Structure 1
């Protein structure tokens, strides 16, 4: 396969997944903002999200104050923010258009329709009127795109590069979603638990995070107990039967790399395999004692390095 074709497929999938995960992250903040809290805590939640997404500087150039409305506008509709849902779905559609011959008609039409409907929903004001309904729409269109890809595409290199982009992006974004909540949250090694100032309020925060990754029912099925931050972390990091966990995402990255390997990719495969192995043999207590923010920061750096190496080994190299 031509590296340029692989590049378009890889980034098409990454942008679709990124739009979905941005919607999930915003939805967590919208839901938690409805809980009783003072204005400073509410603002801190939105600041934390911008920080985790590395968008503080870009946001401050366009908005004078951090408010829910400003952050949602910036992360959803801003055409000058490359990470906005608008730009992600536009880029996904343009990448799909560039390689229509490598896609089935159903995959192309799904992505094209998503872009056209997005513009219509923004013009109609759904984002302002009912942001949660808009975020659900974004998630549904992403699910539809993945389902059509799995259901109609030949399991060849085009399919594998699409899946590789999906799961590399998912690993990155699940880590960021966790870090939004756990940023600067201390761990008490004596009690072997996360320190909580208000356990009752935190229950609703953890429940919102679980719902944001479609894991609330899964949590109940797996643990059959009260929601605790330690178990939320374990589910979203170390459970390979949880579809959006870090280990499940890395399993898919390693699998798809093995299908497209070439004479240059041995070191990339080794690094991906090492990261997967560390997740496979880790325990949640060790991760929490290390500090979840530090752990997730290291994970994100390594995933970013993998993305750069995949670009160098297979795709159009990044400048």
Structure 2
């Protein structure tokens, strides 16, 4: 497969996954901002969380000057000038899909094209008129439909492998960043879900729901929500679809199936990442410090993404 085609397939799926992850993040921050606040009491710190997670705080402040709920929500959802917005992610995904129209199925193309057309209609209405929660659910549902169309219709060839690579690289990074952000807000050293037990409970619950892991937690743990169990669930459990280990396992498997010797650095890095996570216990993670451990593994995921790019996606 030509590196340009592989790159478009890879980034198409990364942008779609990123749009879904942004919607999940935005939905959590918005819902938590509506809760009674301690201190300032206006919920702006909670709404600022996506800016901190995505590293776009400076870009937002440069354009808007101060935190404002409506402008911040629009900045992440519909702002065509913000490369990190859901609008721009879906636009980029559609452009990449158009470039590889001949390598994806009709069902996949129709799904992503109609998603972009609907996105433009929503942007014309405005976020508040359309509804914030409704918009976030729409983004997630469109992403689910695309994955279903992909899984159900495309041949299991190199195109399929590069689409999945993009999805799981993006997903692993998002899980790490979301867990780190929530843990820093609540404090990993405290017993229970946080200093304010009611608010801590809703914060942890929101995180688990954002990563579709709340039902998994209640099935696996009888304890009240706490940082230790949640970290183990989202980092080290391979049966949780959005956990770091689940993503690392899929990435290692996909890369091992791609032909050619030029991919060996990426294959080795993925296998090492999987082994490192698989054979680590939660007590070892906490001994290092959850924030430091996550920061280290965000770097490892980034290095793996760079290795994939240099091995497969750069023109020779």
TM-score clears 0.5: yes
Q: CA deviation at 1:141?
A: 0.3
Matches within 5 A, 1:102-181: 102-181=103-182
> Separation in 1 of the partners of 2:294 and 2:128?
30
Q: Taking structure 1 as reference, are residues 243 and 51 closer, same or farther at Cα in structure 2, changes over 3 Å only?
A: same
2:67 matched residue in structure 1: 66
Q: CA deviation at 1:261?
A: 4.2
In the alignment, structure 1 residue 259 sits paired with structure 2 residue 260: no
Matches within 5 A, 1:269-308: 269-308=267-306
Matches within 5 A, 1:1-319: 1-38=1-38, 39=40, 42-183=43-184, 185-188=186-189, 193=191, 196-316=194-314
Q: Taking structure 1 as reference, are residues 307 and 41 closer, same or farther at Cα in structure 2, changes over 3 Å only?
A: farther
Determine if contact 2:168/2:251 at 8 Å carries over to the other structure: yes
Unaligned runs of 5+ in 1: none
The alignment of Structure 1 onto Structure 2 pairs a total of residues equal to 314
Q: CA deviation at 1:44?
A: 2.5
Determine if contact 2:6/2:313 at 8 Å carries over to the other structure: yes
Determine if contact 2:101/2:109 at 8 Å carries over to the other structure: yes
In the TM superposition, what whole-angstrom CA distance separates every residue of 1:101-143 from its partner, at most 9, and x where no partner exists?
Answer: 0001000000000000111122223445521111011000001
> Separation in 1 of the partners of 2:16 and 2:167?
8
Q: CA deviation at 1:270?
A: 1.4
> Separation in 1 of the partners of 2:290 and 2:259?
32
> Separation in 1 of the partners of 2:269 and 2:82?
31
Q: CA RMSD in A?
A: 1.8
> Separation in 2 of the partners of 1:80 and 1:172?
24
> Separation in 1 of the partners of 2:246 and 2:42?
33
Unaligned runs of 5+ in 2: none
In the TM superposition, what whole-angstrom CA distance separates every residue of 1:138-172 from its partner, at most 9, and x where no partner exists?
Answer: 00000100110000000000000000100011001
Determine if contact 2:27/2:136 at 8 Å carries over to the other structure: yes
Q: Taking structure 1 as reference, are residues 289 and 34 closer, same or farther at Cα in structure 2, changes over 3 Å only?
A: farther
Determine if contact 2:29/2:47 at 8 Å carries over to the other structure: yes
Higher mean Cα deviation, 142-151 or 34-43?
Answer: 34-43
Determine if contact 1:186/1:194 at 8 Å carries over to the other structure: no
> Separation in 1 of the partners of 2:129 and 2:246?
35
Q: CA deviation at 1:266?
A: 1.4
Q: Taking structure 1 as reference, are residues 58 and 147 closer, same or farther at Cα in structure 2, changes over 3 Å only?
A: same
> Separation in 2 of the partners of 1:229 and 1:140?
29
> Separation in 2 of the partners of 1:126 and 1:184?
27
Secondary structure of 1:240's counterpart equals coil
Q: CA deviation at 1:72?
A: 1.2
Determine if contact 2:236/2:243 at 8 Å carries over to the other structure: yes
Q: CA deviation at 1:247?
A: 0.6
Q: Taking structure 1 as reference, are residues 177 and 128 closer, same or farther at Cα in structure 2, changes over 3 Å only?
A: farther
